[in-house]
Amino acid sequence: MTDLASAGDLVSLASLSPKAIAHIIDVARSIKRDSADYADLLRGKRLSMVFEKESLRTRFTFDIGMQDLGGSAVFLDLSSAARMGTRESVRDMARNLERWTHGIVARTYRHRTILELADTADVPVINGLSDHLHPCQALADTMTLVERWGDVKGRKLVYVGDGNNTCHSLMTAATKLGMNMVVCTPGGYEPDAEVTAVCEAAADETGGSITLSSNLMESVHLADAVYTDVWASMGQEEETEERAAVFSDYSITEDVMDATKDGSSFMHCLPAHRGHEVSRGVIDGPRSIVFDIAENRLHAQKAVLALLLGPADAFDGGLV
Protein backbone atom coordinates (compact mmCIF):
# COMPACT_ATOMS: atom_id res chain seq x y z
CA MET A 1 0.00 0.00 0.00
CA THR A 2 2.94 2.29 0.44
CA ASP A 3 4.75 1.72 -2.82
CA LEU A 4 4.13 3.99 -5.78
CA ALA A 5 5.06 1.21 -8.17
CA SER A 6 3.16 -1.77 -6.84
CA ALA A 7 0.10 -0.28 -5.22
CA GLY A 8 -0.36 2.94 -7.13
CA ASP A 9 -0.41 5.07 -3.98
CA LEU A 10 2.00 7.62 -2.56
CA VAL A 11 1.57 7.23 1.18
CA SER A 12 5.24 7.17 2.15
CA LEU A 13 8.64 7.31 0.48
CA ALA A 14 9.93 4.47 2.68
CA SER A 15 9.17 1.64 0.28
CA LEU A 16 10.26 3.48 -2.85
CA SER A 17 13.64 2.48 -4.23
CA PRO A 18 16.37 5.11 -4.65
CA LYS A 19 15.84 4.68 -8.41
CA ALA A 20 12.12 5.41 -8.09
CA ILE A 21 12.72 8.62 -6.14
CA ALA A 22 15.32 9.77 -8.68
CA HIS A 23 12.84 8.92 -11.46
CA ILE A 24 10.06 11.04 -9.92
CA ILE A 25 12.51 13.96 -9.72
CA ASP A 26 13.58 13.42 -13.35
CA VAL A 27 9.95 13.39 -14.49
CA ALA A 28 9.24 16.53 -12.43
CA ARG A 29 12.16 18.32 -14.08
CA SER A 30 10.97 17.29 -17.56
CA ILE A 31 7.45 18.50 -16.82
CA LYS A 32 8.82 21.76 -15.41
CA ARG A 33 10.98 22.29 -18.51
CA ASP A 34 8.43 21.31 -21.18
CA SER A 35 5.11 21.89 -19.41
CA ALA A 36 3.16 22.48 -22.66
CA ASP A 37 3.99 18.93 -23.81
CA TYR A 38 2.01 17.54 -20.88
CA ALA A 39 -1.06 19.80 -21.13
CA ASP A 40 -3.37 16.91 -22.12
CA LEU A 41 -1.81 14.08 -20.13
CA LEU A 42 -4.67 13.88 -17.59
CA ARG A 43 -7.49 15.10 -19.87
CA GLY A 44 -10.81 14.02 -18.33
CA LYS A 45 -9.23 12.94 -15.01
CA ARG A 46 -10.59 14.25 -11.72
CA LEU A 47 -8.82 14.45 -8.36
CA SER A 48 -10.50 14.47 -4.91
CA MET A 49 -8.76 16.61 -2.32
CA VAL A 50 -9.90 15.96 1.25
CA PHE A 51 -8.16 18.10 3.86
CA GLU A 52 -8.62 17.91 7.62
CA LYS A 53 -6.04 20.68 8.10
CA GLU A 54 -5.34 24.08 6.61
CA SER A 55 -3.13 24.42 3.54
CA LEU A 56 -1.89 26.98 1.06
CA ARG A 57 0.87 25.27 -0.93
CA THR A 58 -0.42 21.70 -1.07
CA ARG A 59 -3.95 22.75 -1.96
CA PHE A 60 -2.96 25.24 -4.66
CA THR A 61 -0.26 23.10 -6.24
CA PHE A 62 -2.40 19.96 -6.54
CA ASP A 63 -5.31 21.96 -7.96
CA ILE A 64 -3.12 23.92 -10.40
CA GLY A 65 -1.16 20.78 -11.20
CA MET A 66 -4.34 18.96 -12.28
CA GLN A 67 -5.40 21.94 -14.40
CA ASP A 68 -1.95 22.16 -16.03
CA LEU A 69 -2.18 18.48 -16.96
CA GLY A 70 -5.66 18.88 -18.47
CA GLY A 71 -7.64 17.49 -15.53
CA SER A 72 -9.60 18.98 -12.65
CA ALA A 73 -9.77 18.83 -8.86
CA VAL A 74 -12.60 18.96 -6.30
CA PHE A 75 -11.75 20.20 -2.80
CA LEU A 76 -13.44 19.13 0.43
CA ASP A 77 -12.44 21.34 3.35
CA LEU A 78 -12.78 19.49 6.63
CA SER A 79 -10.51 21.84 8.58
CA SER A 80 -13.35 23.22 10.66
CA ALA A 81 -15.24 19.93 10.84
CA ALA A 82 -14.73 16.80 12.87
CA ARG A 83 -11.97 14.48 11.68
CA MET A 84 -12.65 12.03 8.87
CA GLY A 85 -14.53 8.98 10.04
CA THR A 86 -17.03 10.92 12.14
CA ARG A 87 -19.87 11.66 9.71
CA GLU A 88 -19.22 8.43 7.87
CA SER A 89 -16.44 5.89 8.01
CA VAL A 90 -13.14 6.53 6.21
CA ARG A 91 -13.74 3.34 4.22
CA ASP A 92 -17.19 4.48 3.04
CA MET A 93 -15.71 7.83 2.08
CA ALA A 94 -13.08 6.06 -0.04
CA ARG A 95 -15.75 3.90 -1.68
CA ASN A 96 -17.66 7.04 -2.69
CA LEU A 97 -14.71 9.08 -3.91
CA GLU A 98 -13.39 6.27 -6.11
CA ARG A 99 -16.73 6.24 -7.98
CA TRP A 100 -16.44 9.90 -9.01
CA THR A 101 -12.74 10.69 -9.23
CA HIS A 102 -9.52 9.07 -10.46
CA GLY A 103 -7.35 9.83 -7.44
CA ILE A 104 -7.48 11.13 -3.86
CA VAL A 105 -5.13 13.53 -2.07
CA ALA A 106 -5.71 13.55 1.67
CA ARG A 107 -4.31 15.72 4.45
CA THR A 108 -5.06 14.15 7.80
CA TYR A 109 -4.24 14.18 11.48
CA ARG A 110 -3.88 10.44 11.98
CA HIS A 111 -1.55 8.69 9.54
CA ARG A 112 -3.83 5.65 9.94
CA THR A 113 -6.58 7.55 8.09
CA ILE A 114 -4.39 7.76 4.97
CA LEU A 115 -3.48 4.08 5.26
CA GLU A 116 -7.17 3.21 5.54
CA LEU A 117 -8.05 5.32 2.47
CA ALA A 118 -5.24 3.71 0.49
CA ASP A 119 -6.23 0.25 1.64
CA THR A 120 -9.85 0.77 0.57
CA ALA A 121 -9.84 2.95 -2.53
CA ASP A 122 -9.27 1.39 -5.93
CA VAL A 123 -7.85 4.71 -7.17
CA PRO A 124 -4.43 6.14 -6.18
CA VAL A 125 -4.22 7.79 -2.77
CA ILE A 126 -1.62 10.50 -2.22
CA ASN A 127 -0.51 11.65 1.23
CA GLY A 128 -0.81 15.45 1.29
CA LEU A 129 0.56 15.45 4.89
CA SER A 130 -0.31 13.38 7.90
CA ASP A 131 0.94 13.70 11.47
CA HIS A 132 3.66 11.19 10.55
CA LEU A 133 4.78 12.00 6.99
CA HIS A 134 4.89 14.68 4.29
CA PRO A 135 6.22 12.86 1.21
CA CYS A 136 5.22 15.41 -1.46
CA GLN A 137 7.15 18.07 0.44
CA ALA A 138 10.29 15.92 0.50
CA LEU A 139 10.07 15.30 -3.25
CA ALA A 140 9.98 19.06 -3.88
CA ASP A 141 12.79 19.62 -1.34
CA THR A 142 15.12 17.09 -2.93
CA MET A 143 14.15 18.14 -6.46
CA THR A 144 15.25 21.67 -5.55
CA LEU A 145 18.61 20.36 -4.31
CA VAL A 146 19.11 18.29 -7.48
CA GLU A 147 18.43 21.42 -9.54
CA ARG A 148 21.03 23.37 -7.58
CA TRP A 149 23.72 20.74 -7.15
CA GLY A 150 23.22 18.22 -9.93
CA ASP A 151 24.60 15.22 -8.05
CA VAL A 152 23.35 15.32 -4.46
CA LYS A 153 25.29 12.22 -3.32
CA GLY A 154 27.64 12.98 -0.44
CA ARG A 155 26.18 16.41 0.25
CA LYS A 156 25.50 17.29 3.91
CA LEU A 157 21.88 18.18 4.67
CA VAL A 158 21.03 19.12 8.25
CA TYR A 159 17.47 19.20 9.56
CA VAL A 160 17.13 21.16 12.80
CA GLY A 161 14.08 21.21 15.08
CA ASP A 162 11.24 18.81 15.74
CA GLY A 163 11.54 15.22 14.48
CA ASN A 164 8.16 15.57 12.78
CA ASN A 165 6.32 14.68 9.55
CA THR A 166 8.47 16.97 7.38
CA CYS A 167 11.65 15.64 8.98
CA HIS A 168 10.62 11.98 8.50
CA SER A 169 9.99 12.32 4.78
CA LEU A 170 13.02 14.54 4.20
CA MET A 171 15.45 12.16 5.92
CA THR A 172 14.00 9.24 3.98
CA ALA A 173 14.34 10.96 0.59
CA ALA A 174 17.80 12.30 1.41
CA THR A 175 19.30 8.98 2.49
CA LYS A 176 17.74 7.21 -0.49
CA LEU A 177 19.51 9.74 -2.69
CA GLY A 178 22.86 9.06 -0.98
CA MET A 179 23.11 12.25 1.03
CA ASN A 180 24.76 12.66 4.43
CA MET A 181 21.75 13.54 6.54
CA VAL A 182 22.02 14.95 10.06
CA VAL A 183 18.90 15.38 12.19
CA CYS A 184 19.46 17.72 15.12
CA THR A 185 16.70 17.88 17.74
CA PRO A 186 16.43 18.55 21.45
CA GLY A 187 16.29 15.36 23.53
CA GLY A 188 12.82 13.80 23.45
CA TYR A 189 11.96 15.23 19.99
CA GLU A 190 14.01 12.80 17.91
CA PRO A 191 12.51 11.31 14.74
CA ASP A 192 10.59 8.04 14.90
CA ALA A 193 12.89 5.04 15.42
CA GLU A 194 11.32 3.04 12.57
CA VAL A 195 11.86 5.91 10.13
CA THR A 196 15.46 6.19 11.31
CA ALA A 197 15.94 2.46 10.73
CA VAL A 198 14.61 2.82 7.15
CA CYS A 199 17.12 5.65 6.62
CA GLU A 200 20.00 3.57 8.02
CA ALA A 201 19.18 0.78 5.57
CA ALA A 202 18.84 3.28 2.71
CA ALA A 203 22.16 4.91 3.59
CA ASP A 204 23.88 1.49 3.60
CA GLU A 205 22.55 0.92 0.09
CA THR A 206 23.36 4.34 -1.36
CA GLY A 207 26.58 5.24 0.46
CA GLY A 208 24.90 8.08 2.33
CA SER A 209 24.57 8.38 6.09
CA ILE A 210 22.10 9.30 8.83
CA THR A 211 23.24 10.89 12.09
CA LEU A 212 21.08 12.02 15.02
CA SER A 213 22.39 14.74 17.31
CA SER A 214 21.27 17.36 19.80
CA ASN A 215 24.30 19.62 19.29
CA LEU A 216 23.31 22.41 16.91
CA MET A 217 26.67 24.00 16.10
CA GLU A 218 28.39 20.64 15.67
CA SER A 219 25.56 19.48 13.39
CA VAL A 220 25.56 22.43 11.01
CA HIS A 221 29.38 22.53 10.68
CA LEU A 222 30.18 22.69 6.94
CA ALA A 223 26.60 21.81 5.96
CA ASP A 224 25.57 22.22 2.33
CA ALA A 225 22.01 22.99 3.40
CA VAL A 226 20.13 23.58 6.64
CA TYR A 227 16.40 22.83 6.91
CA THR A 228 13.97 23.71 9.64
CA ASP A 229 10.22 23.58 10.25
CA VAL A 230 7.77 24.95 12.81
CA TRP A 231 8.28 23.85 16.40
CA ALA A 232 4.57 23.11 16.92
CA SER A 233 2.85 21.42 14.01
CA MET A 234 -0.84 21.58 13.15
CA GLY A 235 -2.67 19.81 15.94
CA GLN A 236 0.01 20.71 18.54
CA GLU A 237 -1.16 24.30 19.09
CA GLU A 238 -1.68 23.69 22.81
CA GLU A 239 2.01 22.84 23.17
CA THR A 240 3.20 26.04 21.46
CA GLU A 241 4.51 27.73 24.60
CA GLU A 242 6.15 24.64 26.06
CA ARG A 243 7.81 23.85 22.73
CA ALA A 244 9.03 27.45 22.28
CA ALA A 245 10.98 27.03 25.54
CA VAL A 246 12.39 23.62 24.56
CA PHE A 247 13.40 24.68 21.04
CA SER A 248 14.63 28.22 21.75
CA ASP A 249 18.31 27.19 21.37
CA TYR A 250 17.59 25.60 17.99
CA SER A 251 16.67 28.72 16.05
CA ILE A 252 18.42 29.12 12.67
CA THR A 253 20.11 32.50 12.87
CA GLU A 254 22.88 34.16 10.85
CA ASP A 255 25.42 32.79 13.40
CA VAL A 256 24.21 29.26 12.74
CA MET A 257 24.41 29.72 8.96
CA ASP A 258 27.94 31.16 9.36
CA ALA A 259 29.09 27.70 10.49
CA THR A 260 27.91 26.12 7.22
CA LYS A 261 29.75 25.91 3.90
CA ASP A 262 30.13 28.94 1.65
CA GLY A 263 27.21 28.96 -0.75
CA SER A 264 25.02 26.82 1.51
CA SER A 265 21.23 26.97 1.33
CA PHE A 266 18.51 27.55 3.89
CA MET A 267 15.36 25.45 3.48
CA HIS A 268 11.90 25.49 5.09
CA CYS A 269 8.63 23.86 4.01
CA LEU A 270 6.59 26.95 5.02
CA PRO A 271 4.61 28.41 6.67
CA ALA A 272 7.46 29.87 8.79
CA HIS A 273 7.55 31.81 12.02
CA ARG A 274 10.20 34.51 11.73
CA GLY A 275 11.96 35.10 15.04
CA HIS A 276 11.18 31.57 16.22
CA GLU A 277 12.61 28.63 14.26
CA VAL A 278 14.36 31.00 11.83
CA SER A 279 15.52 34.59 11.94
CA ARG A 280 14.16 37.13 9.48
CA GLY A 281 17.70 37.71 8.16
CA VAL A 282 18.13 34.05 7.22
CA ILE A 283 14.76 33.28 5.66
CA ASP A 284 14.66 36.58 3.76
CA GLY A 285 18.40 36.53 3.02
CA PRO A 286 20.49 35.35 0.06
CA ARG A 287 20.90 31.74 1.21
CA SER A 288 17.16 31.13 1.43
CA ILE A 289 15.63 28.87 -1.23
CA VAL A 290 12.23 28.53 0.42
CA PHE A 291 10.24 29.94 -2.50
CA ASP A 292 12.11 27.80 -5.04
CA ILE A 293 10.99 24.83 -2.97
CA ALA A 294 7.41 26.15 -2.85
CA GLU A 295 7.44 26.51 -6.64
CA ASN A 296 8.72 22.97 -7.03
CA ARG A 297 5.82 21.60 -5.00
CA LEU A 298 3.86 22.20 -8.22
CA HIS A 299 6.30 20.40 -10.51
CA ALA A 300 7.05 17.50 -8.15
CA GLN A 301 3.35 16.84 -7.59
CA LYS A 302 2.59 17.08 -11.31
CA ALA A 303 5.12 14.25 -11.70
CA VAL A 304 3.37 12.20 -9.00
CA LEU A 305 -0.03 12.84 -10.62
CA ALA A 306 1.30 12.01 -14.08
CA LEU A 307 2.91 8.77 -12.88
CA LEU A 308 -0.08 7.62 -10.82
CA LEU A 309 -3.03 8.83 -12.89
CA GLY A 310 -1.51 9.09 -16.38
CA PRO A 311 -1.01 6.50 -19.12
CA ALA A 312 1.39 3.74 -18.08
CA ASP A 313 3.70 4.37 -21.03
CA ALA A 314 3.97 8.17 -20.62
CA PHE A 315 7.51 8.06 -19.23
CA ASP A 316 10.53 5.81 -19.73
CA GLY A 317 11.90 4.10 -16.67
CA GLY A 318 10.25 2.14 -13.92
CA LEU A 319 9.31 2.94 -10.39
CA VAL A 320 10.83 0.01 -8.59
228, with CB counted inside 10 A (0-12, 13-18, 19+), is buried
CB of 214 to ligand NVA, least distance (A): 19
Phi first, then psi: give them for residue 88, nearest 5 degrees.
-150, 165
Part in contact with ligand NVA (CB under 6 A); list of ranges 7-15, 17-25, 107-115, 226-234: 226-234
Could you give the CA distance from residue 269 to residue 93 in angstroms, rounded to a whole number? Answer: 29
CA distances from 253 to 282, 287, 290 (A): 6, 12, 15
Could you give the CA distance from residue 28 to residue 82 in angstroms, rounded to a whole number? Answer: 35
Q: Is 229 in the site for ligand NVA (CB under 6 A)?
A: yes
Say whether 284 is catalytic. Answer: no
List the single partner that 56 binds among ligand NVA, ligand CP, none, CB under 5 to 8 Å by kind: ligand CP
Part in contact with ligand NVA (CB under 6 A); list of ranges 164-172, 177-185, 245-253, 296-304: 164-172
Could you give the CA distance from residue 264 to residue 282 in angstroms, rounded to a whole number? Answer: 12
Q: Nearest-CA neighbor of 173 among 153, 150, 193, 199?
A: 199
Q: Which residue lies nearer to ligand CP by CB, 51 or 189?
A: 51
Q: Which of 63, 102, 136, 137 is catalytic?
A: 137
Say whether 99 is catalytic. Answer: no
Q: Is 127 in the site for ligand NVA (CB under 6 A)?
A: no
Say whether 134 is catalytic. Answer: yes
Phi first, then psi: give them for residue 136, nearest 5 degrees.
-65, -35
Q: Which of 59, 102, 134, 168 is catalytic?
A: 134
| Size, binding site for ligand NVA by CB under 6 A | 9
Q: Is 283 in the site for ligand NVA (CB under 6 A)?
A: no
Residues near ligand CP (CB under 6 A)? 55-58, 129, 137, 269-270
Give catalytic residues, as residue numbers: 107, 134, 137, 229, 269, 297
